[in-house]
Amino acid sequence: MEMFLYGFMQRALIASLLMAVITPLLGLFLVLRRQSLLADTLSHVSLAGVALGLFVNINPTITTLIVVLIASVLIEFLSNLYRTYSEVSIAIMMSAGLSIALVLMSLNQGASSMSVQQYLFGSIVTISTAQVVILAILTVLIVVLFLLFKKPMYVLTFDEETAFAEGLPVRWMSIVFNAVTGVTIAIMMPIAGALLVSAIMILPAAIAMRLGRSFNMVILVGVVVGVIGMVGGLMSSYQFNTPPGATITLLFIAIFIICSLIKIISVRRQVNKQK
């Protein structure tokens, strides 16, 4: 029994470290592009993919990946349609994804409530070896893409008009970024849960932006914060027998509050010294 629990905790720890690397890389661009709600939207859309998979009796991961890829294209299309009010596209897709998920779940009377709850709340301590392998492959892919396209994405994030003038495929870059974010959420969702996966993606980047003074430093700090939050939350959930996803999120929020207070105190001290 102890070896059984050890195996689960080992896989959960590896998954936590992998997610700690992924989340700041994507989360930072989401925050800088003012698309923090995009992660939440794609998690709702992913939930619709899960419901579709359970409804047609197909592996939910497959249907979720297909649904989020379609949603990524639709979000970009709606963003261009409502260019002045880009948040409209996120609101439309979020409501559509949740509505489809709820309707399909209500129609599928044979769906196991445990299966639905696993995707809603996540279960990092019951992660399988296959899920860890998929997460590892995804982590390598995202790191490689980040290293290759960091500069173009940096230009796109801060000045879309300049990116367009330099000949960068702005629309395709946005679609690919949305797709990669959606695929990441789809793979992380059974582990972190649809309700909290967006928070786990955004919070490390938000904390790092309070501490780092350069783009590269923010990325580095984000990874460190991600490791502290993911591993610390996982260990705390094991000790106190609380839900891992919720515990990790609360630890990130606590770190954010502490860092914000330290930042405020530091700024006030500098102002007082200048006086």
Determine the distance from the C-alpha atom of residue 202 to the mean position of all C-alpha atoms in its chain, rounded to a whole number.
7
50/105 Cα distance (integer angstroms): 9
Helix segments in 193-214, DSSP class H: 197-211
pLDDT at position 225: 93
**Average pLDDT score over residue span 225-254:** 87
User: Which pLDDT tens digit goes with each residue over 27-46?
Assistant: 888 888 887 788 888 888 88
Give the sign of the dihedral formed by CA 244, CA 245, CA 248, CA 254. Answer: negative
* Mean pLDDT of the residues in the chain: 82
Give the sign of the dihedral formed by CA 26, CA 29, CA 31, CA 33. Answer: negative
Q: Is 24 exposed, middle or buried (0-12, 13-18, 19+ CB in 10 A)?
A: buried
218/222 Cα distance (integer angstroms): 6
Query: Global pTM?
Result: 0.83
pLDDT at position 15: 86
Q: How far apart are the first and last CA of the chain?
A: 64
User: Is the confidence at residue 3, as pLDDT, over 60?
Assistant: no
Residue carrying the six token digits 């590896």: 14
Write out 82-111 in H/E/C secondary structure. CCCCCHHHHHHHHHHHHHHHHHHHHHCCCC
User: Which pLDDT tens digit goes with each residue over 68-81?
Assistant: 888 888 887 877 77
User: Which pLDDT tens digit goes with each residue over 102-147?
Assistant: 888 888 766 555 566 677 777 776 677 888 888 899 999 999 988 8
**Average pLDDT score over residue span 188-214:** 84
Tokens standing for residue 51: 């419901």
106/54 Cα distance (integer angstroms): 11
60/46 Cα distance (integer angstroms): 9
pLDDT at position 85: 63
Percentages helix, strand, coil for the chain (3-state, rounded to 5) are 85, 0, 15
CA distances from 226 to 19, 180, 201 (A): 8, 19, 9
Tokens standing for residue 201: 């993606």
Determine the distance from the C-alpha atom of residue 130 to the mean position of all C-alpha atoms in its chain, rounded to a whole number.
20
User: Is the confidence at residue 4, as pLDDT, over 50?
Assistant: no
Q: What are phi and psi of 121, to 5 degrees?
A: -110, -15
pLDDT at position 110: 60
